[in-house]
C-alpha cells in the first residue's frame, strides 16, 4: 500500500475497514468517492465541535485578588476575617 494512503493510526478498527469494504463492494469507485466526500464533511463538523468543546473546558481567566479590596469588603460587610479572633 502507498505510504501516503496509510491510516493515521496503526490499528484501524475492523468496523471502519468493513464499512469501507462494503461501500467498495456495493458501489465501486464512485461509492468510495462519495464516502470520502461525506467523511470529509463529517470530519470538519466533528473537529469544529471539538474546538468549541475545548473552548468551553478552558477555565476563564480569573482576575487577580487585591488584598486591600478583600479587606474593604470584609469591613463593609462587618465580617471578621479570622473567626477564631474575638477582638471585636
Q: Is residue 49 part of a domain?
A: yes
Is 67 inside a domain boundary? no
State the pTM of this model: 0.52
What's the structural domain count of the chain? 1
Which pLDDT value is given to residue 66? 73
pLDDT digits (tens, 9 = 90+) for 1-56: 566 666 667 788 889 989 999 999 999 999 999 999 999 999 999 999 999 998 88
Is 53 a member of any domain?
Answer: yes
Instruction: Tell me if 73 is assigned to some domain.
Output: no
Report if residue 86 sits inside a domain.
no
Contacts of residue 41, Cβ cutoff 8 Å, sequence gap at least 6: none
30 φ/ψ angles, rounded to the nearest 5 degrees = -60, -40
Amino acid at each position: 500500500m502507498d505510504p501516503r494512503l496509510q491510516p493515521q493510526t496503526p490499528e484501524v478498527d475492523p468496523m471502519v475497514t468493513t464499512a469501507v469494504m462494503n461501500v467498495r463492494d456495493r458501489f465501486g469507485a464512485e461509492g468510495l468517492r462519495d464516502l470520502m466526500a461525506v467523511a470529509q464533511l463529517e470530519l470538519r463538523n466533528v473537529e469544529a465541535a471539538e474546538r468549541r468543546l475545548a473552548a468551553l473546558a478552558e477555565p476563564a481567566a480569573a482576575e487577580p485578588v487585591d488584598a486591600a479590596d478583600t479587606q474593604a469588603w470584609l469591613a463593609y460587610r462587618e465580617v471578621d476575617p479570622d473567626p477564631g479572633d474575638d477582638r471585636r
